[in-house]
Amino acid sequence: MSFISYSQNFEDVMLWRALGHIEQGFYIDVGAWSPDVDSVTRLFYEQGWRGINIEPNPEFNNQLQERRPYDQNLRLAIGDCEECVNMNFLNNPGLSTLDNAIADKHQQAGWSLDRQEVQVITLATLWHQYVPIGQDVHFLKVDVEGMEEAVLRGNDWLKNRPWIVVAEATLPMSQLESYESWEPILLAADYQFAYADGLNRFYVALEHSEILSSLHYPPNVFDDFVLAAQMNAETKAQQAETKAWQAEMRAWQAETKMAEQEQRALAAEARVTEILNSTSWKITAPLRNLGDFVKKYIAKQQR
């Protein structure tokens, strides 16, 4: 059965292939951004999964609160220590970051910058406070624009072990790989590298190594998915066709009404002619008023 992929780079396709057999699974999305656009978790939410979305941007956190009522949507940032810091929000929300150097480069490139204070906690604290006791976390997604190392460093990997970790592995808006600093954290915690998609890298916990084979190949025809953009385009095309059909129906109805009026007018004229030709009809009005008489008669018949 086909499913819709909402993510930016087919991340949800790969995760669904590996984990789709699990009912009512659980995820943690650090840097969730939109509940719908380029979302790695929307597919899973629609399939009955639940989880935790971390999004410090107030606009998108509000959208998550509205669109994901059964998730925990936290306006926090995740790092390697507990503190309040100023976060850099850019008018391209996908570029918002705690890294001032990266934010300054984006500002130099023309993006507007707004710094707001946010609370930072660690993954270990998040797990302790918000993940139910005994709940498996089937995947952890990390997309924090250059702060992936701090996020991963702040977890207790002996206690808190997501089955799959997906982390953005390139510098923001580039193909330059940036995972060398944080990959050793996962490898040392007994995670195995499984797959790279040009943007992210996927790692599997050693105790769930049976998942590795499902991440061997990139998304392909056997995954049986359609893109959200394709579905949206088809929906818009159908809506346009419906509007065009409705316009044609209105035009046809107008033409039909006009034809009916013309038929009634012709019938009225024929009746007037019949009356005027009748020997029993007496014309008392002057002949020059005959046109007015015909018009009034026709108008009366049309009413």
From 179, 198, 223, give the residue that closes a domain.
223
- 208 with 243, same domain: the answer is no
Q: Does 214 lie in the same domain as 84?
A: yes
Mean per-residue pLDDT over the chain, rounded: 87
Last residue of a domain, one of 194, 223, 252: 223
Yes or no: say if 154 and 79 are a contact pair by the CB < 8 Å rule. yes
Q: Is residue 264 part of a domain?
A: yes
pLDDT of residue 151: 97
- Domain annotation covers residue 97: yes
Instruction: Indicate the DSSP class of residue 90.
Output: E
Range of 182's domain? 3-223
The residue that leads in pLDDT, 28 or 289, is 28
The answer to whether residues 213 and 280 belong to one domain is no
Over 60: is that where the pLDDT of 10 sits? yes
Which of 174, 202, 223 delimits the end of a domain? 223
Note whether 209 and 251 are same-domain residues: no
* Residues 142 and 43 reside in one and the same domain: yes
Least confident of 41-55, 111-125, 173-187, 232-246: 232-246
First to last CA, the chain: 59
Say how far apart CA 209 and CA 271 lie, in whole Å.
92
Question: CA nearest 178: which of 218, 153, 203, 145?
Answer: 145
Instruction: Determine, yes or no, domain membership for 228.
Output: no
Reported as a pLDDT band with limits 50, 70 and 90, residue 115 is confident
Q: What is the pLDDT of residue 287?
A: 47
Q: What is the pLDDT of residues 206-242, one digit of tens each?
A: 999 999 999 999 999 999 999 988 776 656 666 666 6
Work out the pLDDT band at 303, boundaries 50, 70, 90.
Answer: low
Residues 28 and 173 in one domain: yes
Is residue 229 in a domain?
no
The count of structural domains within the chain is: 2
**252 and 272 share a domain?**
yes
Predicted confidence (pLDDT) at residue 90 exceeds the cutoff of 60: yes
- Kindly state whether residue 246 falls inside one of the protein's structural domains: yes
For residue 248, pLDDT over 80 is answered with no
Tokens 């012709």 correspond to: 266
10 part of a folded domain: yes
187-203 exposure pattern, b = at least 16 Cβ within 10 A, e = fewer: eebebbebbebeebbbb
Same domain, 38 and 152: yes
- Map residue 283 onto helix, strand or coil: coil
Residue-wise pLDDT tens digits, 122-164:
999 999 999 999 999 999 999 998 899 999 999 999 999 999 9
pTM for this one? 0.75
Determine the Cα–Cα distance for residues 297 and 269; give it in Å rounded to an integer. 8
Please report whether residue 58 resides in a domain: yes
What pLDDT band is residue 26 in, cutting at 50, 70 and 90? very high
State the pLDDT at residue 237.
62
Mean pLDDT on 66-86: 93
Same domain, 96 and 144: yes
138 and 174 within one domain: yes
Same domain, 43 and 165: yes
Identify whether 240 is part of a domain: yes
Residues 176 and 63 placed together within one structural domain of the fold? yes
- Assign residue 202 the CATH number of its domain: 3.40.50.150
Average pLDDT over residues 272-300: 60
Per residue in 260-273, pLDDT (tens digit) is: 787 887 877 777 67
In this prediction, residue 114 carries a pLDDT of 75
